[in-house]
C-alpha cells in the first residue's frame, strides 16, 4: 500500500490532463484495502475509486481521496465441458484479459478487444463494443464495502447493468471497491459478427475464429479511435442517444441518412458521432482540445489541454447537436469534480 498527498493524476487518466489529488492511496493486495479502511482516514472525505482512468475527465484538482486498487491475477476457477469461469482481479488491464482468453480459446469477450481500462472498471461502465456488452459474460462481482469493510458478492442482476452504466456508476458510486470479477466464458462460442463492417473484415482474414475476430476488432478500432498512448482521450465522450419511434420518424423526415439501430420496445439508438459530424464539428479545435478528426464522438487532448478546455468544447458540441437535431447528448465520460461543483463553469450535469 502506498499513501500519498498532493499526488498528480496526470499519468492515471487517459486524457492526460493535470489534476492533483489531495490524497491518493494505491492497493496491491486485497487485505490492504480492509486495513486501510479500518484506519478511518476516509471519514467525511470525498472519494473516487480509480480504475484505468480511461473514462474520466478531471476538470479541477480533487480535494478528496483517490482509492486505486491495482490487484493483479487471472485464474480459471471452474471448468465444464461448454463453459468455464475465470476470475480476474480488478487491477488487471482489460485487454490483457481479452488476449489471455482468446489465446486459450475461450470466447465471449473477443469483440471487446482493445478497450482501454481495467477489469474492475469494465463492470462499472458495462463496457460494450461491436454488438457485445460485458454484462453478458459476468458471473459474479466481488467488492469491499467502504463503509463497513465487509466483502460483498454481486450477481449480474444486482449490478443494475444498462447501456454504459451500472449501479457502481450510479446510485452506488463511492460505496464499493471492486476487487475481482468472475467471467463465464465459452469453449464453443457463438461469434457476434452482425455489427456493420465486422463480418466483411473477418472474412477477408480467411477463417472465422477468436483470433481473427480479435484482429478484426483491433484493426477497426485502430482505424477510427485514437490510441490513448499517443493522443489523450476517453473513448466515446457521449452516449448514443436512445429515442422512441415517434421521435425517430420526425428526425428521419429531415435526416433520412441518420444511422439508427432498433433496440426493441419502440426504442432506437442514434449515432451521436454522425450528428456531431453533420454539425460540422468533426476535427474542430479549441486551443489544444479537439473533436477527433476520424470519429466525432471522441474528444481529444492534442497535448497540453486542460480538462476544462475539453469540457468547454464538449459543451459547444452538445449545444450544436441540440440546436440542430433537438437531441440532448449525455456524457459517457465521468467529469470529476462534477461540473455543478465548479462555479466558474456553466456546464450542465451530463
Ligand atoms: N459516424 C459518423 N461520423 C463520425 C462517427 C460515426 O458518421 O464521426 C457514423 C458511422 O459511420 C456509423 C455510426 O456513426 O454509421 C456509428 O459509428 P461507430 O461504428 O464508429 O460507433 P459509435 O456509435 O460512434 C459506439 C460505441 C463505441 C464502440 C462502437 C462499436 C458508444 C457511446 N460508443 O460508437 O464505444 O466502440 O460503437 O461498437 O456507444 C466507448 O464507449 O468509449 C466506445 C468507443
Residue at grid coordinates 482489460: 94
Q: Are strands 334-336 and 56-58 parallel, antiparallel or unpaired?
A: parallel
Examine the residue annotation and report whether 186 is marked as an active-site residue of this protein. no
Q: Above 60 in pLDDT, residue 344?
A: no
Closest CA to ligand 1's atom 33: 236
Quote the percentage of the chain above a pLDDT of 70. 97
Ligand 1, residue 163: give the atom nearest the CA.
39
| CB distance 129 to ligand 1 below 6 Å | yes
- Per-residue pLDDT of 294-338, as tens digits, reads 999 999 999 999 999 999 999 999 999 999 999 999 999 999 988
Ligand 1, residue 235: give the atom nearest the CA.
42
| CB distance 30 to ligand 1 below 6 Å | no
Whether the bond between 11 and the residue before it is cis, its omega within 30 degrees of 0, is no
Q: How many angstroms is it from 344 CA to the middle of ligand 1?
A: 32
Query: Which domains are delineated in the chain?
Result: 2-69 (3.30.43.10), 74-224 (3.30.465.10), 232-345 (3.90.78.10)
| CB distance 274 to ligand 1 below 6 Å | yes
> Taking the complete model, does pTM exceed 0.85, yes or no?
yes
Cell representation of residue 168: 457502481
- Per-residue pLDDT of 243-282, as tens digits, reads 999 999 999 999 999 999 999 999 999 999 999 999 999 9
Residue 333: other Cβ atoms inside 10 A: 25
Examine the residue annotation and report whether 343 is marked as an active-site residue of this protein. no
Cell representation of residue 213: 475476430
Which is the catalytic residue, given 54, 113, 166, 236?
A: 236
Amino acid at each position: 500500500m502506498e499513501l500519498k498527498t498532493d499526488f498528480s493524476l496526470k499519468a492515471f487518466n487517459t486524457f492526460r490532463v493535470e489534476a492533483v489529488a489531495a490524497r491518493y492511496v494505491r492497493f496491491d493486495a486485497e487485505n490492504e484495502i480492509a486495513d486501510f479502511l479500518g484506519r478511518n482516514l476516509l471519514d467525511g472525505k470525498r472519494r473516487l475509486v480509480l480504475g484505468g482512468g480511461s473514462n474520466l475527465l478531471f476538470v479541477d484538482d480533487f480535494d478528496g481521496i483517490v482509492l486505486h486498487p491495482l490487484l493483479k491475477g487471472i485464474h480459471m476457477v471452474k471448468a465444464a465441458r461448454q463453459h468455464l469461469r475465470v476470475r480476474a482481479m480488478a487491477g488487471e488491464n482489460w485487454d490483457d484479459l481479452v488476449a489471455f482468453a482468446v489465446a486459450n480459446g475461450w470466447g465471449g469477450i473477443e469483440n471487446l478487444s482493445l478497450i482501454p481500462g481495467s477489469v474492475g472498471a469494465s463492470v462499472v461502465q458495462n463496457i460494450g463494443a461491436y454488438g457485445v456488452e460485458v454484462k453478458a459474460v459476468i458471473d459474479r462481482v466481488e467488492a469491499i464495502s467502504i463503509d463497513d469493510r465487509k466483502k460483498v458478492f454481486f450477481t449480474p442482476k444486482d449490478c443494475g447493468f444498462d447501456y454504459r452504466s451500472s449501479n457502481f456508476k450510479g446510485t452506488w458510486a463511492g460505496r464499493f471497491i471492486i476487487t475481482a470479477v468472475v467471467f463465464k466464458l465459452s469453449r464453443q462460442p457463438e461469434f457476434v459478427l452482425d455489427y456493420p463492417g465486422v463480418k466483411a473484415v473477418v472474412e477477408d482474414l480467411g477463417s472465422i475464429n477468436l483470433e481473427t475476430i480479435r484482429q478484426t476488432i483491433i484493426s477497426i478500432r485502430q482505424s477510427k479511435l485514437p490510441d490513448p498512448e499517443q493522443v489523450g482521450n476517453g473513448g466515446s465522450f457521449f452516449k448514443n442517444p436512445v429515442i422512441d419511434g415517434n421521435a425517430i420518424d420526425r428526425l428521419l423526415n429531415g435526416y433520412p441518412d441518420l444511422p439508427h439501430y432498433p433496440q426493441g420496445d419502440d426504442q432506437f439508438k442514434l449515432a451521436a458521432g454522425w450528428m456531431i459530424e453533420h454539425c460540422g464539428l468533426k476535427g474542430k479545435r479549441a486551443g489544444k482540445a479537439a473533436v477527433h478528426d476520424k470519429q466525432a464522438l471522441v474528444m481529444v487532448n492534442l497535448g497540453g489541454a486542460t480538462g476544462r478546455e475539453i469540457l468547454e468544447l464538449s459543451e459547444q458540441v452538445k449545444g450544436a447537436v441540440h440546436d440542430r437535431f433537438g437531441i440532448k447528448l449525455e456524457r459517457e465520460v465521468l467529469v470529476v469534480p462534477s461540473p455543478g461543483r465548479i462555479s466558474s463553469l456553466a456546464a450542465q450535469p451530463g
